[in-house]
Structure 1
C-alpha cells in the first residue's frame, strides 16, 4: 500500500509550471547574490512565463479541477476532459471566461443576513 493517498498537483501542468518557476527562482536568486538587476528581472519574467504556461496547460486539460478526483484520474498522464467547459470554483477558468459553475457559494439574501440593502452601482464608490 502506498503512503500517497491524495493527488494534489500531480499533473503535467503542475510539474511543468514547477520546473519553469524553479529556473526563474534560481535566476532571481543569482541576481540577488550578484547584485544584478538584469538577472533578477529575467528571473521574474521566467516566473511570469511559468504562471502563464501552467494556466494554459490547465485550460487545455493537463491540469486538474479544484478538489479531489477519482483515483482512476490520479496518474500524471490523464487529461481532464471537463476542462473545456470550466471547473466549478476555479479562478483560472473564471479568468479565461469559462463560466460553468463559477461559484460554489450561493449569495444570501440581504434580509436573511441582517445586512442593509446593497447600494446601487450608480451611487459611486
Structure 2
C-alpha cells in the first residue's frame, strides 16, 4: 500500500456513490427527461453534503499520508473533532485545527487523550487554553 491513501474512507466512497447516482439522473435529464435535471442536481448537491457530514463525523481523513495503523477504511478519525490542518471542509465548519499547529501529535490516540484532558479541567481553564492558540496565529 502506498504512503497516500486519499479517498479510501467511508466518507469518500459514500460521496462517490451518491454523486455517481446524481450524475446518472442528471444525464437522463440531459437526454430528455426534464425532471432529471433538477433531481440529478439535487442528488449531486446531496452527495457533497453527505461527504462533508461524514468527514466531520470522523469517517473522512486529513489531507496527506497517515500511519499504516490508521489507514484501513473502518478506522474512524478521532482527531476530526478539532479539525484537520489545511482542510477546507474543517475550516468551513469552524474547525481550524489549532491544536495541530501547536505541534500536538495528530494520531487518534493523542486526539482522544487531548479531549479527555480538556474535559477534566475547569471551564475557565478550558476557555483560556482554547483561546491561546488562536491568538498566537497571525493568519486568523
Aligned partner of residue 31 in structure 2, secondary structure: helix
Q: CA deviation at 1:100?
A: 2.3
3, 6, 9: which one aligns with 2:7:
9
Structure 1 contact 89–101 (Cα < 8 Å) conserved? no
Q: CA deviation at 1:74?
A: 1.1
| Structure with the higher fraction of residues in helix conformation | 2
Structure 2 contact 82–98 (Cα < 8 Å) conserved? no
Matching of residues 68-107 of structure 1 within 5 Å = 68-101=65-98
Structure 1 contact 87–93 (Cα < 8 Å) conserved? yes
TM-score, normalised via structure 2 length: 0.67
Matching of residues 57-76 of structure 1 within 5 Å = 57-76=54-73
Q: CA deviation at 1:42?
A: 0.5
Pick the structure with greater CA Rg: 1
Structure 2: segments with no counterpart, 5+ residues: 102-136
Alignment root-mean-square deviation, CA:
1.9
CA distance in 1, matches of 2:98, 2:21: 35
CA distance in 2, matches of 1:30, 1:39: 6
Aligned partner of residue 29 in structure 1, secondary structure: helix
Q: CA deviation at 1:71?
A: 1.1
Structure 1 contact 12–63 (Cα < 8 Å) conserved? yes
- The count of residues paired between Structure 1 and Structure 2 equals 102
Structure 1 contact 86–99 (Cα < 8 Å) conserved? yes
Structure 1: segments with no counterpart, 5+ residues: 109-125
Matched residue, 1:32 = 30
Q: CA deviation at 1:101?
A: 3.6
CA distance in 2, matches of 1:94, 1:18: 22
Q: Deviations over 1:22-62 (max 9, x none)?
A: 0000000011112x331011001000000000000000100
